[in-house]
């Protein structure tokens, strides 16, 4: 395994890892159980300003 091959594998693994983390965050954000909490926190911020 030479240096160029290691760079290609490193970039590929980084891309896959980034995609998995991104997909995990999106799934967590749109999970139905989080909706109530997000709405409550959103209202709380708006109520604190007034």
pLDDT, tens only, 6-45? 999 999 999 999 999 999 999 999 999 999 999 999 899 8
d(CA 49, CA 9) in angstroms, rounded, equals 49
d(CA 15, CA 7) in angstroms, rounded, equals 12
pTM of the model: 0.69
């Amino acid at each position: 395994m030479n240096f160029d091959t290691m760079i290609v594998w490193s970039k590929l693994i980084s891309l896959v890892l980034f995609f998995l983390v991104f997909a995990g965050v999106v799934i967590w954000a749109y999970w139905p159980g989080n909706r109530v909490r997000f709405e409550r926190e959103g209202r709380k911020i708006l109520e604190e300003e007034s």
